[in-house]
Amino acid sequence: MPNADSAPVRATGAPPAAVDATLLAVPVLGDAASDTLADLPGLDAAAAGAIGDARSSGAFRGKRRETFETGLAGDGWRASRVLLVDASSGPEPLSARLREAAAVAARAASARRVERFAFVCRGEGDPAALAQAVAEGVVAGGFADTRYKTEKDAAGAAPACDVVWPQGDGGPGAAEAVERGVTIGAATNLARELANQPSNLLRPAAFAERAVEAVEAVGVATEVLDEPAIRKRGMGLLLGVGQGSDAPPHLLVMRHEPPNAPAEPVLGLVGKGVTFDSGGISIKPAAGMEWMKSDMAGGAAVVGAMRAIGALNPSLRVLGIVPMAENMPGGRATRPGDILTGASGTTVEVLNTDAEGRLILGDALWHARQCGATHLVDVATLTGACVIALGAAASGLFARPREWSDAVRAAAVRAGERVWPMPLYEDYREQLRSELADIKNIGGREGGACTAAAFLEAFTGGLPWAHLDIAGTAWIEKPREDAAAGATGVMVRMLTELALGNRNW
């Protein structure tokens, strides 16, 4: 994965004035009255008063992701320029605001061809959590997927970064926190690369091969089930989705099993891995279909998380399972009205072949249970209905029981991933009742995200389970101040935090 790792990011004990960097990035945490930048004495004087003028005149208004840049010429300041980045108060925790500001700064530094910049980690909070968030943001902001560009300098290279503190020292554990943030940021970028990969170059076998390479490098054990092995296990739902393509389906199993980990709990992470989704016989409209190369973003998130988990080595057994298939309208493709039988024995009447993600996840959730998972999380670009409900601002969270939902949501908050709880009423399961089989794969137009989640719940065996619908958050179509266009790597941080965090589940 040539672009997943960024330029070096390190913690340094040098005070902001003394750091050897071309550009000094300063997150601004409020307006001029609430954040006077008093912890950076002499900064405005070194900028010839330009910072104060910009803030008082409205040239820097404190809008989300806004920046203001000016020169530094005062004695004692080694950086030649300073970049103010808005991280003003709002509903997000400080760690999330610093992460975003660091990504904005990294992209700005890259656009200016700056080789090394410094970012000032400011504000009250857990120093380690803030330092980790800054490192994650720098690595994410430095990401540019130029693998298929002939002009490699079309985007600036990812700049190196020194993380500094106003007092000159981040305290005990700061360096380790930055390193942890770099690891998680690089794993997020790995997921972005995988989900950006064009489908002609990332069919199921290639996806499995690249995932194995990525996670085995950090000690995660792997097993890849090919089509005969999938058929032997009776996974008729995965086979049914993949049979319309000349690229056979695969199932990837990844295991993090440290010797000091207890036998339970076992966290099972399941990610949808549809490497291209044409919709099958229920074919999609042509407009926007190119984004269906990223219909494996949930699977990419699980691969990225397993990469980070293997590198950070929590004392917890973690399974990562990714069913991989192409959904194509070939002569052997599943037809609307067909009935498939899953590995669990559940029969499914397929009324719409474009509701394929839930089918392959059904078999994967069953397999996670066979592998010993005691707690389940699945991640999938599952429904357009979730996009209508939540837009691109948050991923939908469906979970049982309440304690597990709370644990997953708390991990998301700590990781800076937005999720929003959605209902799992019995009414949604009733919409899936079939006259001919155990269950239908769609329940009509109403409550589409909820009926999809209800379908998945039928395969969880009553285990604590959470489903994350990332259809609206898995990619962005246009670049932003903090992120390149394309895959976002959403949920890598949350899944990693769930494995790393203090477990009360």
Tell me the CATH number at 76.
3.40.220.10
Stated length of the chain:
505
Same domain assignment for residues 160 and 111: yes
Question: For position 157, what pLDDT does the model report?
Answer: 75
Q: Are residues 324 and 462 in the same domain?
A: yes
Strand partners, 119: 25, 163
Element (H, E) at 206: helix 204-216
| Residues 183 and 250 reside in one and the same domain | no
* pLDDT reported for residue 210: 98
Same domain, 254 and 326: yes
Q: How far apart are the first and last CA of the chain?
A: 35
**Are 263 and 140 found together in one domain?**
no
Are the C-beta atoms of residues 390 and 398 closer than 8 Å to each other? no
SS3 480: strand
The CA-atom distances, in angstroms, between 213 and each of 127, 140, 219, 255, 323 are: 34, 21, 10, 14, 17
Q: Is residue 263 part of a domain?
A: yes
Q: How far apart are CA 196 and CA 416, in angstroms?
A: 22
Give the per-residue pLDDT at 1. Answer: 42
Q: Are 419 and 282 contained in the same domain?
A: yes
Cα dihedral angle (127, 128, 134, 140), rounded to 10 degrees?
-170
Take residue 115 and report the two structure tokens written for it.
Answer: 């080789």
Structure tokens at 135: 């490192």
pLDDT of residue 62: 86
Residue 179 lies in a domain: yes
Contact 136, 100 (CB under 8 A): no
Spot the catalytic one: 358, 414, 418, 493: 358
Q: What is the DSSP letter of 284?
A: P
Q: pLDDT tens, 4-41?
A: 556 699 999 999 999 999 999 999 999 998 999 999 99
Q: d(Cα 219, Cα 82) in Å, to the nearest integer?
A: 42
Indicate whether 62 and 182 sit together in one domain.
yes
C-alpha span between 453 and 372 (Å, rounded): 22
One-letter amino acid identity for 65?
A: R
Is 383 in the same domain as 241?
yes
Per-residue pLDDT in tens (0 to 9) along the chain, 505 residues: 444 556 699 999 999 999 999 999 999 999 998 999 999 999 999 999 999 999 999 999 989 999 999 999 977 899 999 999 999 977 899 999 999 999 999 999 999 999 999 999 999 999 999 999 999 999 999 999 999 998 866 556 789 999 999 998 888 899 999 999 999 999 999 999 999 999 999 999 999 999 999 999 999 999 999 999 999 999 999 999 999 999 999 999 999 999 999 999 999 999 999 999 999 999 999 999 999 999 999 999 999 999 999 999 999 999 999 999 999 999 999 999 999 999 999 999 999 999 999 999 999 999 999 999 999 999 999 999 999 999 999 999 999 999 999 999 999 999 999 999 999 999 999 999 999 999 999 999 999 999 999 999 999 999 999 999 999 999 999 999 999 999 999 999 999 999 998 777 7
What is d(CA 37, CA 361) in angstroms, rounded to the nearest whole number? Answer: 50
Q: Is residue 505 part of a domain?
A: no
Q: What is the pLDDT of residue 156?
A: 62
End-of-domain residue from the set 160, 188, 216: 188
Give CA angle at 312 (398, 274), nearest 5°: 45
Radius of gyration of the chain (CA): 24
Q: Do 174 and 208 reside in the same domain of the chain?
A: no
Domain final residue pick, 133, 163, 188: 188
231 is catalytic: no
* Tokens coding 379: 């991640």
Active site residue 81: no
- What is the span of the domain harbouring residue 85? 9-188
- Find where tokens 């389906």 sit: 249
CATH code, 345: 3.40.630.10
Helix (H, G, I), strand (E, B) or coil at 118: strand
**One domain, residues 303 and 424:** yes
- List phi, psi (to 5°) of 265: -75, 165
Residues 401 and 460 in one domain: yes
d(CA 502, CA 277): 37
Quote the DSSP letter at residue 158: P
Looking at residue 2, what is its pLDDT? 40
89 vs 30, 53, 103, CA distance in Å?
A: 6, 21, 17
Tokens 């000091």 locate to: 260
Cβ pair 70, 81 in contact under 8 A: yes
Dist CA 423 CA 355 (whole Å): 20
Q: What is the pLDDT of residues 200-227, one digit of tens each?
A: 999 999 999 999 999 999 999 999 999 9
Residue 231: CB atoms within 10 A of its CB come to: 15
234 located within any domain: yes
Residue from 112, 116, 233, 284 carrying the catalytic annotation: 284
Of 155, 188, 221, which closes a domain? 188
Secondary structure of 26-51 in HEC code, one letter for each residue: EEECCCCCCCCCCCCCCHHHHCCCHH
Instruction: Please say whether the dihedral angle defined by the alpha carbons of residues 421, 424, 427 and 431, taken in this order, is positive or negative.
Output: positive
- Strand 317-327 relative to strand 266-271, pairing: parallel
Q: Is residue 1 domain-resident?
A: no
Ranges assigned E (strand) in 412-478: 419-421, 439-440, 465-469, 475-476
**2 is a domain residue:** no
CB atoms within 10 A of CB 446: 11
Residue 412's H or E segment, with its range, is helix 402-415
Structural domain count, the chain: 2
Under 8 Å between Cβ of 358 and 383:
no
In a domain, 4, yes or no: no
117 and 37 Cβ atoms separated by less than 8 Å = no
Angle of helix 204-216 relative to helix 174-196, nearest 10 degrees, comes to: 170
Pair 145, 486: CB distance under 8 Å: yes
Please indicate, yes or no, whether residues 75 and 205 belong to a single structural domain of this protein: no
In a domain, 432, yes or no: yes
